């Protein structure tokens, strides 16, 4: 996984190189690439509404409302050699091509329209010309319902050249799209691999990757973007180039919102901005439908506005979701639906052509293509986001695991040292108990001989040793008893009241280190926390509940600790900062519970250890 960022660019480069090689193998190298030429001569046009004029392509042409037909006429260039092809774009219209008055090509809803042999899905038309057509007059006739022709707008460039050269030319123009297409496939495969192999992801991330897979399958298996098109390298893929850039901004907006939502980010202030954005878009759309504004200008305008809108929204109205916070339930999905409805509202007018008298395949394609590209490019952006977020999480979890492992090793060593210390105290206690018989016999002999002063000195010399015996039977478990007894002596020396209500039966041997860790750390914290307090006290209570052990330790503390969740340590030197962590780890090892809290000058530690008794 850590090498993906290095492997992915190599895969994309190899895929693109394979695409180029396959294209050259399919079409071969052109013998004369200069045959491709743009027809940029002056065109004369007339409309059925009586409008006349001239234009040079590409040029924006505004037509009066009610126009149903437009004829464009120009002279073909001279050429010799192989047959040439006239290539041009027609969108929304039925088209007819005449050369020197002879009909050569028809497509669309015209009566007796020919099948589209060389026509791509994006309305790229290719008309085969003969040698006799060199220098002849060519006429293009566009016909369409009046609803469409006022929006003829931008007549795309027309080109002439050999079929081989034109195909390679379109192939070169479509190179960026080919890269994107292969990138779609690669990122989808990587995302599906993560979905299958990495099962620790949250539900929303799994659902997001599943959505990506479904969308990608639909995209890659559509009739205009199927894998066979990639293999054959027909003009279909290059024909989609302009759609790629035309729809890229709304795709970025949509996928950014989707990724943020899937990652659990909280979105705020949505309705205020969406109402402003949708209101403006509806206004532009109404003007377009009324014929007062070319609808091709509305999308670029709102793409720019939408880009700044999205960036501002993400910067100022998003933030990581708080722990325990609810996800937005309806606001985000509805906002996305509103955006999609607003963006594709222009295409609703195409539904008028679905009436039985107007139904046709070309009109259906107009509604299909943008949706097709929307899902395709969205899959690219979302794949990148999903992969990046997943890899970041994996890296973070790996780092956390390394830190936890290191901490666990330190805690284990610390607990082992404490346990060995208590075991050593127990051995020392048993040794002293054994030696007491000798001490008592010696003192008795001195008193019997009348050597009273000598006996007093002997007993004084034993003071340090006898002090260890100040251990009362606090509970049945001997390890817990030694820990409590040792700190009871420390509290007594510091003058801190210490009350104990401990009912701890004998526990299993492997639990001793955990109980020692909890009691020693908690009582040590209490000893240090009571230092300097006006009314110090320490209370210890422990009782069994079934096979579990409940422990509570309370002590006076500074009022500054009240209400804190992360408590600063007071320890210094070796073992610094391991007290709270050690108790948490000890409770976790027994599938138990640990909680530390401070309120109104009282520090409290609650621990539950599960399944600890013999």
Domain identity same for 85 and 13? no
- Note whether 92 and 115 are same-domain residues: yes
> Is the domain of 264 the same as that of 203?
yes
| Residue 242 resides in a domain | yes
Predicted pLDDT at 517? 82
pLDDT, position 534: 85
The Cα–Cα gap between 142 and 123 comes to 13
CA 551 to CA 518: how far, in whole Å? Answer: 9
518 and 589 co-located in one domain = yes
210 occurs within a structural domain: yes
Residue with tokens 């060995």: 420
pLDDT higher at 477 or 211: 477
Q: Residues 220, 222, 225, 231: what is their CA dihedral angle, to the nearest 10 degrees? A: 70
How far is Cα 200 from Cα 191, in angstroms, rounded to an integer?
A: 14
Q: What is the pLDDT of residue 70?
A: 85
Please check whether residues 267 and 203 belong to one and the same domain: yes
* Assigned domain for 429 exists: no
d(CA 415, CA 407): 12
Q: Comparing 258-262, 482-486, 515-519, which segment has the lowest mean pLDDT?
A: 258-262
pLDDT of 43 over the 90 cut: no
190: its two tokens: 């990587």
Same domain flag for 126 and 206: no
Question: Where among 400, 419, 445 does a domain terminate?
Answer: 400
403's CB contacts (< 8 A; 6+ apart) are: none
pLDDT band (50, 70, 90) for residue 434: low
* Bigger pLDDT: 201 vs 102: 102
- 559, part of any domain: yes
Q: Are residues 264 and 298 in the same domain?
A: yes
Q: What is the domain range of residue 545?
A: 473-609
Average pLDDT over residues 218-233: 41
The residue from 128, 156, 184 where one domain ends is: 156
One DSSP character per residue, 507-545 reads B-GGGHHHHHHHHHHHHHHHHHHTTT-SS--EEEEEEEE
Boundary (domain end) residue, out of 156, 184, 203: 156
SS3 of 23-91: the string is HHHHHCCCCCHHHCEECCCEEEEEECCCCEEEEECCCEECCCCCCCEEEEEEECCCCCCCCCEEEEECC
Which range has the top average pLDDT, 52-61, 172-181, 511-520, 603-612? 603-612
Residues 569 and 513 reside in one and the same domain = yes
* Both structure tokens of 300: 């670029």
Query: Does a structural domain hold residue 262?
Result: yes
| Distance from the Cα of residue 426 to its chain's centroid | 56
In a domain, 388, yes or no: yes
User: Is residue 446 in some structural domain?
Assistant: no
User: Does one domain contain both 88 and 7?
Assistant: no
Q: Are residues 266 and 392 in the same domain?
A: yes
Contact 85, 138 (CB under 8 A): no
- 477 and 539 belong to one structural domain: yes
Query: Domain of 121: which CATH number?
Result: 2.60.120.260
Structure tokens at 328: 């937005």
- Segment 127-148, tens digit of pLDDT: 888 888 888 899 988 876 554 4
Give every CB contact of residue 379 below 8 A, 6+ residues apart in sequence. 184, 187, 188, 212, 215, 216, 219
The sign one gets for the Cα dihedral 293, 294, 296, 301 is: negative
pLDDT in tens, 389-412: 666 666 777 777 776 677 667 666
Spatial strand order of the sheet with 85-89 comes to 37-38, 159-161, 85-89, 124-128
Q: Which CATH number fits the domain that encloses residue 532? A: 3.30.565.10
Asked whether residue 434 is assigned to any structural domain, the reply reads no
Q: Dihedral through CA 94, CA 100, CA 103, CA 106, nearest 10?
A: -30
Residue 554: pLDDT above 90? yes
Q: Note whether 192 and 311 are same-domain residues.
A: yes
Domain count for the chain: 3
């Amino acid at each position: 996984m850590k090498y993906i960022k290095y492997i992915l660019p190599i895969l994309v480069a190899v895929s693109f190189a394979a695409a180029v090689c396959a294209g050259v193998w399919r079409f071969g190298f052109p013998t004369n690439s200069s045959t491709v030429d743009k027809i940029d001569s002056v065109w004369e046009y007339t409309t059925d509404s009586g409008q006349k004029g001239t234009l040079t392509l590409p040029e924006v042409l505004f037509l009066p409302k009610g126009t149903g037909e437009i004829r464009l006429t120009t002279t073909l260039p001279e050429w010799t050699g192989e047959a040439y092809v006239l290539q041009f774009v027609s969108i929304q219209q039925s088209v007819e091509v005449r050369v020197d008055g002879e009909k050569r090509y028809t497509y669309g809803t015209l009566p007796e329209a020919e099948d589209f042999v060389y026509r791509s899905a994006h309305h790229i038309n290719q008309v085969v010309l003969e040698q006799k057509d060199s220098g002849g007059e060519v006429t293009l006739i566009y016909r369409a319902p009046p609803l469409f022709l006022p929006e003829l707008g931008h007549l795309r460039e027309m080109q002439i050249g050999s079929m081989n050269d034109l195909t390679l030319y379109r192939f070169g123009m479509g190179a960026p799209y080919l890269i994107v297409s292969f990138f779609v496939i690669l990122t989808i495969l990587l995302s599906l691999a993560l979905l299958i192999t990495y099962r620790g992801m949250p539900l929303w991330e799994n659902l997001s990757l599943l959505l990506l897979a479904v969308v990608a399958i639909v995209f890659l298996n559509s009739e205009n973007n199927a894998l066979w098109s990639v293999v054959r390298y027909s003009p279909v893929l290059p024909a989609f180039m302009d759609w790629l850039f035309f729809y890229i901004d709304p795709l970025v907006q949509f996928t950014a919102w989707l990724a943020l939502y899937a990652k659990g980010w909280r979105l705020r202030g949505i309705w205020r901005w969406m109402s402003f954005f949708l209101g403006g878009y509806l206004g532009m759309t109404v003007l377009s439908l009324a014929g007062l504004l070319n609808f091709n200008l509305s999308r670029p305008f709102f793409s720019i506005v939408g880009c700044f809108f999205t960036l501002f929204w993400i910067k100022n109205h998003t933030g990581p979701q708080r722990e325990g916070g609810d996800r937005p339930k309806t606001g985000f999905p509805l906002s996305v639906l509103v955006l999609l409805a607003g963006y594709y509202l222009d295409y609703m007018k195409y539904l008028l052509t679905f009436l039985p008298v107007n139904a046709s395949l070309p009109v259906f394609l107009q509604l299909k293509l943008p949706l097709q590209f929307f899902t395709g490019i969205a899959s690219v952006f979302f794949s990148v986001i999903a992969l990046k977020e997943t890899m970041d999480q994996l890296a973070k979890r790996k780092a956390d695991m390394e830190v936890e492992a290191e901490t666990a090793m330190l805690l284990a060593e610390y607990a082992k040292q404490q346990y060995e210390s208590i075991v050593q105290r127990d051995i020392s206690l048993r040794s002293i108990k054994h030696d007491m018989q000798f001490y008592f016999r010696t003192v008795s002999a001195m008193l019997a001989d009348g050597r009273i002063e000598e006996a007093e000195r002997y007993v004084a010399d034993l003071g340090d040793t006898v002090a260890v015996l100040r251990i009362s039977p606090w509970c049945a478990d001997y390890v817990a008893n030694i820990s409590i007894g040792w700190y009871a002596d420390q509290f007594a020396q510091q003058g801190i009241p210490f009350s104990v209500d401990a009912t701890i039966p004998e526990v299993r041997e492997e639990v001793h280190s955990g109980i020692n860790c909890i009691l020693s750390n908690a009582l040590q914290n209490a000893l240090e926390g009571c230092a300097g307090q006006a009314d110090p006290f320490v209370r210890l209570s422990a009782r069994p509940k079934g096979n579990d052990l409940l422990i509570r330790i309370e002590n006076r503390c500074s009022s500054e600790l009240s209400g804190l969740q992360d408590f600063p340590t007071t320890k210094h030197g070796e073992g610094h900062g391991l007290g709270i962590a050690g108790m948490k780890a000890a409770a976790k090892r027994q599938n138990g519970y640990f909680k530390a809290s401070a309120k109104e000058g009282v520090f409290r530690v609650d621990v539950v250890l599960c399944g600890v008794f013999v």
